[in-house]
Amino acid sequence: MRTTLDIKAYLDKDEQKDLLRLLTAGSVDDGKSTLIGRLLFDSKKLYEDQLDALARDSKRMGNAGENIDYALLLDGLKAEREQGITIDVAYRYFSTNNRKFIIADTPGHEQYTRNMITGGSTANLAIILVDARTGVITQTRRHTFLISLLGIKHVVLAVNKMDLVDFSEARFNEIVTEYKQFVAPLGIPDVNYIPLSALDGDNVVDKSDRTQWYAGTSLLDHLETVPLDNENNFTDFRFPVQYVLRPNLDFRGFCGKVASGVVRKGDTVMALPSGKTSKVKSIVTYDGELDYAFPPQSVTLTLEDEIDVSRGEMLVHPDSQPLIDRNFEAMMVWMDEEPMDINKSFFIKQTTNVSRTRIDAIKYKVDVNTMEHSDVPFLSLNEIARVVLTTSKELFFDPYQKNKSCGSFILIDPITNNTSAVGMIIDRVAMKDMQTTDDVPVLNLPKLGIAPTHYDAVEKAVKELERQGLSIRIEK
């Protein structure tokens, strides 16, 4: 009986551990896969058959000489092992006594930027590896910019291969100083710096005697203690409706996942876009009813009044509403092998809402290696730009930096069904570009970011407004 209770207590404790999602990023041969493999090995999270296979594979195709090649734990594709590089995102799960982890090992090559965006889209923390010999290079800057774009708040700069520079404190400080200068304008709130040797295990799980000058913690200790309490937005209630559940005449509920905020029984909620209000009658789950729900719980809400709410619409608190608009600006990463056709119409999926959309303008493309802005007529695979979009129906959104769940979207090619792009909403289109002269509104199309290809459509819309008695002057 004692054993049964102990097992139950252990399982209950394990159930209550929080989950840290992290990704590794860095240039080719910086040791991302080796670091994760070493982390799993030294924390005793590998089974005997995995260790036997790792030892065999290291002798047959490893790149670590007589030593075990820990990268083979992550690089499982034949092409990855032949070339000694990471191509696809590899996920590994492990846990310690304090926390659960899901690690995404992402590629370092620029041509696999979209794979890194995919791996980082759900990450809470990013480990950026640099080679102690080469320091901060172009790809280090590129990965850091992408991480800031994804809104990842916690970053670890892991200065790897310290054994190849004799664990020099001066070299470590030089790299840290250079990186601090680059990362300061990006606004990442939490950046830590750890010297390590992934191959030898220095400062990976345990502190190393070879870095007596380093006063910080090991990598695993940092991962176990980094705070995650502020990762969700618990202020603004957003409930995108995924499905209307009507099993019989006596029950009508709205199913979905709480994207942000907290909802309680008895709360007044507003349905968007109708604006009708009601009160939450019950919060239903498979395990029974709840008094309140918070992200990322999936629940069914029933309301006291029979109001019309459908898939793609949203329930919110009336005193905390999202932006509602058809026009907005966003940072967008092009994910399709086929280059962008700016005259093409796409499907946009944001939360559970799907609409038609067009790309009105590309304000500028960001060179992720130099951070320079440039004007381009279209985007190609892995390119990133600030764009202006117009949807066929109103979307309910928040800026991505405020609310990831309601500020992100994907563009879908209506012909191939490929994911053409992913985007992070910045804000609605700034109406400060609307000026007034002699009481007649002036619409400055270039300042609004409207492409010349859409001028005719704007002029037709303005003429229709003029027929209804509203005067607007267009400037091109």
pLDDT in tens, 304-347: 998 999 999 999 999 999 999 999 999 999 989 899 999 899 99
Domain check: are 85 and 196 in the same one? yes
> CA 121 to CA 433: how far, in whole Å?
33
* pLDDT at residue number 440: 55
Q: Has residue 232 been placed in a domain?
A: no
Decide if 116 is inside a domain: yes
Specify whether 212 is located in the same domain as 302: no
At 230, the pLDDT band (50, 70, 90 cuts) reads: low
88, 142, 222, 413, 428 from 108: Cα distances, Å: 10, 10, 23, 27, 33
Q: What is the CATH number of the domain that holds 305?
A: 2.40.30.10
Q: What is the pLDDT of residue 388?
A: 95
Say yes or no: 205 and 288 in one domain.
no
242 pLDDT more than 50: yes
Specify the pLDDT at position 277.
95
Q: Last residue of a domain, which of 283, 316, 349?
A: 316
Considering only 153-162, 275-284, 365-374, which range has the smallest mean pLDDT? 365-374
Are 419 and 403 members of one domain?
Answer: yes
Enclosing domain of residue 357: 323-429
216 and 104 in a common domain = yes
Query: Does 40 score more than 90 pLDDT?
Result: no
Per-residue confidence (pLDDT) for residue 199, from 0 to 100: 82
Nearest Cα to Cα of residue 394 among 328, 295, 309: 328
Is residue 49 situated within a structural domain?
yes
Q: What is the pLDDT of residues 359-390, one digit of tens each?
A: 999 999 998 777 889 999 999 988 899 999 99
What would the pLDDT profile of 439-458 be if each residue is shown by its tens digit?
A: 556 667 666 667 666 667 77
CATH number at residue 136: 3.40.50.300
Is there a single domain that holds both residue 268 and residue 385?
no
| Most confident listed range (89-103, 124-138, 256-270) | 256-270
pLDDT for 469 beyond 80: no
| Side chain identity, residue 342 | I
pLDDT tens for residues 106-126? 765 556 677 777 777 788 899
Is the pLDDT assigned to residue 1 strictly greater than 60?
no
Residues 260 and 264: their CA atoms lie apart, in Å, by 13
Supply the pLDDT for residue 138: 83
Residue 414 lies in a domain: yes
Mean pLDDT of all residues belonging to the chain: 82
Supply the pLDDT for residue 143.
86
Q: Which of 301, 316, 331 is the last residue of a domain?
A: 316
Residues 144, 288 within the same domain: no
Calculate the alpha carbon distances from 384 to 113, 361, 421 in Å.
10, 13, 10
pLDDT confidence of residue 14: 66
Mean pLDDT value across residues 47-73: 60
Residue type present at position 311 = R
133 and 20 within one domain: yes
**Domain co-membership, 188 together with 296:** no
pLDDT of residue 198: 86
Q: Same domain, yes or no, for 208 and 102?
A: yes
pTM for the whole structure: 0.76
Note the pLDDT of residue 470.
Answer: 57
Residue 424 pLDDT > 90: yes
Has residue 137 got a pLDDT over 60? yes
Q: Which amino acid is at 469?
A: G
pLDDT-derived band of residue 83, with 50, 70 and 90 as boundaries? very low
Judge if 135 and 273 occupy the same domain: no
Query: In this prediction, what percent of the chain has a pLDDT beyond 90?
Result: 48
Strands 353-366, 373-374: pairing is: antiparallel
Question: 293 and 336: one domain?
Answer: no
Give dist(CA 384, CA 387) in Å, integer: 9
CA atoms within 13 A on the CB side of 438: 3
Indicate the range of 152-161, 408-417, 435-444 predicted with least confidence.
Answer: 435-444
What pLDDT shows up at residue 31?
75
Query: Percent of the chain at pLDDT above 70?
Result: 76
Residue 282 pLDDT exceeds 70: yes
- Contact 312/352 with Cβ under 8 angstroms? yes
| pLDDT at residue 81 greater than cutoff 50 | no
pLDDT, position 80 = 39
Check if the beta carbon of residue 193 is closer than 8 Å to that of residue 176: yes
User: In this predicted structure, what is the pLDDT of residue 102?
Assistant: 87
Q: Which tens digits make up the pLDDT trace of 283-314? A: 999 989 999 999 989 999 999 998 999 999 99
Contact 373, 383 (CB under 8 A): no
